[in-house]
Amino acid sequence: MPKYYDEIGFATTSEDPVDSGIWKNTITKKKYSGDILNATRRIELGENVNPDLNVSNRISIVANEYAMQNFHSIRYAKYLGAKWKVNSVEVQAPRLILSLGGLYNGEDEIESSSVSEDSNG
């Protein structure tokens, strides 16, 4: 089974500045290791000039306490150099099974500098 070690993005929403009524997502990036359960891709023809590329990959990560408490906030997983949307998360303690979809487009989100070098924090 192929191994996985890369970045997972967690989103938190906060009002910035406080009492302004403007809400922004902040992405916290953490690295996790695990296994790639399956790796498939699909090309979806639509009304676009170029077809959309989607993956139907499932990644099983070894989750720490942070990931278990914030699994609902996972927005993307980095895989093969690209950030992919996480469509669903299945909890199978001590692991989380991430189902990936299309390319992640986080243009409205602000990335934080909080990066963990391992899955312990």
What's the pLDDT tens digit per position in 28-54? 999 999 999 988 877 766 676 666 677
CA distances in angstroms from 114 to 16, 30, 38, 98, listed in the order given:
18, 8, 29, 21
Entry pTM: 0.78
pLDDT on residue 40: 82
Q: What is the CA radius of gyration of the chain?
A: 15
pLDDT on residue 109: 53
5: enclosing H helix or E strand? strand 3-15
